[in-house]
Structure 1
Amino acid sequence: MPQIHVLPKEVSELIAAGEVIERPASIVKELIENSIDAGATIITVEIQHGGIRFIRITDNGCGIHPSDAPTAFLRHATSKVKNARDLDEIGTLGFRGEALASIAAVARVEMMTKTAGEELGTYVKIEGSELQEVRETGCPLGSTITIRDIFYNVPARLKFLKKDVTEGNAVASIVDKIALSHPEISVKLIRDNKVAFHTPGDSKLISAVYTIFGREFAQNMLPVDYELNGIKVTGLTGKPMFHRANRSMQHFFINGRYTKTRTCGIAAEEGYRGAMMVGKFPACVLELQMPFDQVDVNVHPAKIEVRFVNEKAVFDAVYFAVKSAVADHGTLVRKETAVSDKLPELQGKRGASVSKQTMGIQKEAFRTNAPLTGNGPLDVASPFRSEAVPAVQETISISPADQWLPKKPKSINIDVEPDPDDFVPPPVTDARAVFELHSCDEGEEFVPQKSPETKPEKTTETATVLHDNRGGQEAPQTAAPMQVIGELFGTYILAQMGDEFVMIDKHAAHERILYNKLKENNGELDKQLLLSPVTVTLSRQEHETVMERLDLFQKVGFLVEDFGGLTVILRSVPAVAEPERAKEMFLEITASLLQNRKTEFPELIEDILHRIACRGAVKAHDQNSRVELEELVKIICRDENVRYCPHGRPVMIRYTRKEIEKLFGRIV
């Protein structure tokens, strides 16, 4: 039977340190939280080589008394918790008393600290938990802690650290969140002797967001200020049209502490239901203020995970806070042009009689998710309606926001080259002629007719083999005239080929055609330079992924350059892509790469080609001319590879004349 013995101090401290210190970012997080608890208003973070070789945190907090400076590096030594009752209402970011002890166990540490009542400060040097030196020194008010050579005495942990760039991005991500959670503190990050960012510390969240994420991100945020059941939710949330391909831009803070909480994330996304595309995710920076005894932060050594006493109350507070912000953004009557504020002027200019009570009902309808009824200009379908509001007899003419207006139809050209010898194209004025279906007796050939003004065009192209999607067999090769009848629901092409009726999903068909073309060059795609380069703001993880995969993006047609901070600039896009959709396509590819970082290069190329083909293909409800539809059908007939889209959906469904006649009871 093995003998039980007590571990040596140096071994036990290394084991305990491994729970708190995983990488340089863990050290930065712990030390910044100590600075905030010390009342600092200015914090500077300096790192070199990703923080592996060098980290320095400087603050102007209260400092540590000379007699307490050596004690601070002992395990479970803290000034924030005195008894068990204090753990029920933790109001500070740090409380375990493990951070400094864990850092000192795996690195070389130096600290200079000075309190307001002392003329000189205190210098402490410690390596591998062993105190090396304590003496007086001159230093400013506050604390400066320098860490060198992380895991110098734990080579097994050192080899698991990633590249300097990756570790540096992890540190920057932590500093980002600290700056966002405490906009009243001026936070500066210096990375390899270059200032990455410097927040003003003016207590305005929008200032911190602008500094970290850039102008575009800040301009697309909506203010949030809501309170429910003793939980106050403040911050910023994205406009519905400013959606993301993943959740990397969702940030939640509980009483000033950054947390990973699925409850808040789901609540925020539910607040956008009906106002955001399915499969897209909102961006947000939300702070929850709640009683300390209603949240337990003593769950994990890293203190990122929390538990709520009443999870439903938290969900409801976030949900209604976000939904109210989105609803206010969708209100047609803006506060600055509210009718109730300018009633006499509007009556004089518009000649309409509108009472303040009536306009109050209208504004309240949008705020309480109720619809507006009646035939006035404010009768707009709202995704938040639940109850009816009495109609108003007279209203005034108000210009709605652009996003409420219906999109103008546009013609989409399919990326195919028609052969002039195959058919004679109709006149341009007749490209979208309406076809009328006429009944026919049994045995007569079904012939679609055009309107009386023009004679129907008919081609003599012969169709080749079509796969039978019902049984997987091939129909015999017959000479059958191809004829496009029209479209169904703006999505499906209706065509007659001999004695068969075919329905074709035009998006799936065009997507497969584009995908086949992209595959011809082994994934090397032609580029189209953008007349006006596009800037894209990314999260830290997304930015790191893009910088690591610049060669991959260039291979598929994207010329990407680092634009500073978290912004990149797109100078070219794949030739098959529409320039106005380039940004959305780029973000989708980035999200896919971030999710599948360990996937092999060929598989990544395959996934990217799928996405490019999907985005570049004609969409359902796009308006296409008869020439485009006919040419698409001809390619399908000629190319046996166009039978399924890259995602596996069928391109066409076929019915024989016999099957149709059975359905109508003409034959048994």
Structure 2
Amino acid sequence: MNSIITILDEATTNKIAAGEVVERPASCVKELVENAIDAGASAIEIEIADGGQSYMRVTDNGCGMSADDAHKCIIRHATSKIRSVEDIYAISSLGFRGEAVPSIAAVSHLQITTRQAEDTFATHLLLDGGKVAADDQMGAAVGTTMEVRDLFYNTPARKKFLKSERTESGKINEMIIKLALAHPSIEFTFINNGRTAVHTGGNGQLLDTIANIYGTALAKEIFPVTYDADDIHIEGYVGKPSVLKSSRAWQTCIVNHRIVHNLVLFKAIENAYHAMLPKSGYPFAMLHLQMDPASIDVNVHPAKTEIKFSEEQAIYRVVYHGIIQALMQQEKPEQIATVPHISSFQAEKMEIAESIAEPTESTTASSFPETRPASFTQESLDLPEAKGRVSEAHDVFSYAGGVAGHAEWNHEAASRATKQEEHVFNEILDQGSASGAAGVPQTDPVIVFEGDDSVFIPLGQVAECFIIAKKGQDLYIIDQHAAHERIRYDTFCNRVEKMPSQQLLTAEFVEVDAEDMTLLLERQEIFDDLGYVYSEAGPNTLRMQAIPSDLKTSDIAGSLRDICKFLHEDKEPDKAEMRHRSLAYLSCHGAIKAGNILNIRQMKQLLEDLFHTDKPFVCPHGRPIILRFTPEELAKLFKRT
């Protein structure tokens, strides 16, 4: 009987194994730079061409290799980092598997030049597809240079999956930035197509490295983090809630000097900022964690970016409380954001408050009936109740501080909105600041919906953010910004399918980061459908010729960042979802904000317009607009039952 199982030859197995380690040029650069770091280098220079597909070079001034070690390093599973399987459970080096160099050699033309201090000449090897094509000696400085040419030349199936030169260069740039942040005592130089893209001083000061990479302006907007608990030490920097990016590119987590991607760490960062963040974007966070190597497992994947913690809850607590402490230690509230300063007690209570206000399966936009105001009944106006949490419902008032300042009053955009909206808000800025305006009814405050006996009576305003109203025996709290946001959104949705644009008399120049620039240029048809017309004016600069008609020029950068954030999360976005995302942004940035004082007449008109929308209970982002309290729930709050 014929055997159908075949033992693969060495060349084939090497190419297969290379796919786990070398997915793209960026992973190749990562492996070579980490080897240089393990070699004790104090200066590392990286040069690429054509996004790394045609050429990559990594040069370091580390300890170098002997001729014997140079030949051994191209053999799979040959390593100087570990000696036995027990060493895997206490890894202190970045590399240890002995797969990187042979994997790279198997799918490229590799050149190795290396010299130790005690050697007169350097060892020079030329490899073709993993096989040694030339072996000689030459003069060179102490250290190692790895040159990679024609990556994936012998595996065309893998090469066709590479992205554009800009995308691949961006991935390499991002990787080098994170490596530099992980090792501020090393001088990094990154040269892309002959131009120096990144250079750090290597003086050991993390703040200086951050300034070298992101600029001094950002370095002034961040705060130091230092925290110790559960045998874990954390230090680094976090940014103000206003310092945002459309992706997690500004969030770098380092564990024992190793760059890691771990959802627990990202979730801790996200929850630490909690309600302080605007509606889209990720805050800056550069965190170094030091812990016992035996408490982590880095042998999860050949790329070594995934990591397992033996105590994930402890990791979460340290990161969460470390960031909270850093933000709360600032002397003045305005040092961290425009939102009011909150105590650590309030920070914890925010979680309870948001969980009450957070839309559940029964309160999402898609779950509400497509009813018109004339068909409203008692049942359709009753909000789903937060069962079992009513005793904590009062904490929603502490949430007011968290949402204050998230939306801006866009008077210019409002003046272009519908006449109905103008009628409601044309006196907000003129009369709203008058000391007595908020408490004196100018018209009958009773709202009666046609064809229905339901009556809403606005009673006043709390924290210049929430409208308090009464209907029957029930009490209602309405988020004024979210309500106006819903009104504006429905108005926009009733317009033509394609987003209307406004031509700019003079072009506006907008700075974007390299990652977003790649999206903006490669997915230009998406932005064109949303009303944006632009061209590239520089490496990180757009020349804007047209923008959506209701968008202020000062909001261009923020709106582009919001769309890019969605594209980073969803590689194949639905056209309708993209339109919704853009309209939601316009609705938010043109709506009244927390802090605008409304009088009773304005509250009445706002509620009346709100209940002429299709989904008056949730804003376009899916958050609740109204909270309802029955007499029974109020009695429980006052312990009358």
Range of TM-score over shorter length: 0.7 to 0.9
CA distance in 1, matches of 2:107, 2:406: 63
Matched with 1:165 is: 166
CA distance in 2, matches of 1:271, 1:142: 43
Contact 1:562 1:568 in 2 (8 A): yes
For residue 499 of structure 2, what is the amino acid of its counterpart? G
For residue 315 of structure 2, what is the amino acid of its counterpart? V
CA distance in 1, matches of 2:251, 2:615: 40
Of 580, 583, 587, 2:561 maps to 587
Matched with 2:260 is: 259
- CA deviation map 1:110-132 (0-9, x unaligned): 11111111111111011112111
Check if 1:510 corresponds to 2:510.
no
Instruction: Name the SS for the 1:73 alignment partner.
Output: coil
Matches within 5 A, 1:106-121: 106-121=107-122
For residue 585 of structure 2, what is the amino acid of its counterpart? R
Alpha-carbon spacing, 1:275–1:623, altered in 2? closer, same or farther (3 Å): closer
Instruction: Name the SS for the 1:269 alignment partner.
Output: helix
Contact 1:112 1:143 in 2 (8 A): yes
Of 527, 542, 547, 2:516 maps to 542
CA distance in 2, matches of 1:528, 1:628: 33
Check if 1:305 corresponds to 2:306.
yes
Please, which moves more after superposition, 556-565 or 11-20?
556-565
Alpha-carbon spacing, 1:316–1:112, altered in 2? closer, same or farther (3 Å): same
Instruction: Name the SS for the 2:67 alignment partner.
Output: coil
CA distance in 2, matches of 1:240, 1:650: 20
* TM-score normalised by the chain length of structure 1: 0.69
Contact 1:533 1:572 in 2 (8 A): no
Matched with 2:18 is: 17
Instruction: Name the SS for the 2:501 alignment partner.
Output: coil
Alpha-carbon spacing, 1:139–1:469, altered in 2? closer, same or farther (3 Å): farther
Instruction: Name the SS for the 2:48 alignment partner.
Output: strand
Alpha-carbon spacing, 1:563–1:200, altered in 2? closer, same or farther (3 Å): farther
Structure 2: runs of 5+ lacking an equivalent:
349-400, 471-477, 627-641
Check if 1:522 corresponds to 2:498.
yes
Alpha-carbon spacing, 1:123–1:581, altered in 2? closer, same or farther (3 Å): same
Alpha-carbon spacing, 1:52–1:624, altered in 2? closer, same or farther (3 Å): same
CA distance in 2, matches of 1:525, 1:165: 28
Deviation at 1:527, TM superposition (A): 5.0
Matched with 1:448 is: 444
Contact 1:412 1:624 in 2 (8 A): no
Check if 1:186 corresponds to 2:204.
no
Alpha-carbon spacing, 1:255–1:383, altered in 2? closer, same or farther (3 Å): closer
CA distance in 2, matches of 1:651, 1:296: 41
Instruction: Name the SS for the 2:327 alignment partner.
Output: helix
Alpha-carbon spacing, 1:621–1:507, altered in 2? closer, same or farther (3 Å): farther
Alpha-carbon spacing, 1:563–1:174, altered in 2? closer, same or farther (3 Å): farther
Matched with 1:596 is: 570
Contact 2:20 2:302 in 1 (8 A): yes
CA distance in 1, matches of 2:468, 2:233: 53
For residue 152 of structure 2, what is the amino acid of its counterpart? F
Matches within 5 A, 1:451-600: 489=461, 507-508=484-485, 510-512=487-489, 514-516=491-493, 519-520=495-496, 522-526=498-502, 535=511, 538=513, 541-550=515-524, 552-553=526-527, 556=530, 574-578=548-552, 581-600=555-574
Deviation at 1:207, TM superposition (A): 2.0
Matches within 5 A, 1:331-410: 382-384=343-345
Instruction: Name the SS for the 1:67 alignment partner.
Output: helix
Contact 1:42 1:60 in 2 (8 A): yes
CA distance in 1, matches of 2:560, 2:86: 52
- CA deviation map 1:302-335 (0-9, x unaligned): 001111223233223222321221121256799x
CA distance in 2, matches of 1:528, 1:645: 34
For residue 124 of structure 1, what is the amino acid of its counterpart? L
Instruction: Name the SS for the 1:161 alignment partner.
Output: coil
Matched with 1:361 is: none
Alpha-carbon spacing, 1:493–1:412, altered in 2? closer, same or farther (3 Å): farther
- CA deviation map 1:500-524 (0-9, x unaligned): xxx998515531354147x437213
Structure with bigger RCO (C-alpha 8 Å, 6+ apart): 2
Matched with 2:41 is: 40
- CA deviation map 1:532-571 (0-9, x unaligned): 96645x4x54343234345544664556676877677879
Instruction: Name the SS for the 2:238 alignment partner.
Output: strand
Check if 1:65 corresponds to 2:66.
yes
Contact 1:530 1:572 in 2 (8 A): no
Matched with 1:28 is: 29
Instruction: Name the SS for the 2:70 alignment partner.
Output: coil
Contact 2:115 2:142 in 1 (8 A): yes
Structure 1: runs of 5+ lacking an equivalent:
335-378, 388-402, 438-446, 451-462, 471-483, 496-502, 654-668
- CA deviation map 1:423-463 (0-9, x unaligned): 9x99x8899696659xxxxxxxxx8399xxxxxxxxxxxx9
CA distance in 1, matches of 2:164, 2:135: 34
Please, which moves more after superposition, 555-564 or 2-11?
555-564
CA distance in 2, matches of 1:130, 1:323: 54
For residue 448 of structure 1, what is the amino acid of its counterpart? D
Q: What is the total number of aligned residue pairs between the two structures?
A: 547
Matched with 1:143 is: 144
Matched with 1:367 is: none
Matched with 2:371 is: none
CA distance in 1, matches of 2:616, 2:347: 44
Check if 1:614 corresponds to 2:588.
yes
Matched with 1:370 is: none
* TM-score normalised by the chain length of structure 2: 0.72
Matches within 5 A, 1:280-319: 281-319=282-320
Contact 1:105 1:129 in 2 (8 A): yes
For residue 487 of structure 2, what is the amino acid of its counterpart? H
CA distance in 1, matches of 2:334, 2:490: 47
Matched with 1:155 is: 156
Contact 1:115 1:141 in 2 (8 A): yes
Alpha-carbon spacing, 1:568–1:223, altered in 2? closer, same or farther (3 Å): farther
Deviation at 1:647, TM superposition (A): 4.1
- CA deviation map 1:599-658 (0-9, x unaligned): 255653443233323332345664468998899899999x999999994999999xxxxx
Contact 1:240 1:326 in 2 (8 A): no
Matched with 2:358 is: none
Deviation at 1:249, TM superposition (A): 2.2
Contact 2:57 2:147 in 1 (8 A): yes
Contact 1:412 1:622 in 2 (8 A): no
For residue 515 of structure 1, what is the amino acid of its counterpart? F
- CA deviation map 1:57-78 (0-9, x unaligned): 1111111111221221011111
Instruction: Provide the aligned C-alpha RMSD in A.
Output: 4.7
For residue 58 of structure 1, what is the amino acid of its counterpart? T
For residue 206 of structure 1, what is the amino acid of its counterpart? L
Alpha-carbon spacing, 1:99–1:200, altered in 2? closer, same or farther (3 Å): same
- CA deviation map 1:361-410 (0-9, x unaligned): xxxxxxxxxxxxxxxxxx986344699xxxxxxxxxxxxxxx99x97999
CA distance in 1, matches of 2:406, 2:265: 37
CA distance in 2, matches of 1:410, 1:301: 47
Alpha-carbon spacing, 1:239–1:101, altered in 2? closer, same or farther (3 Å): same
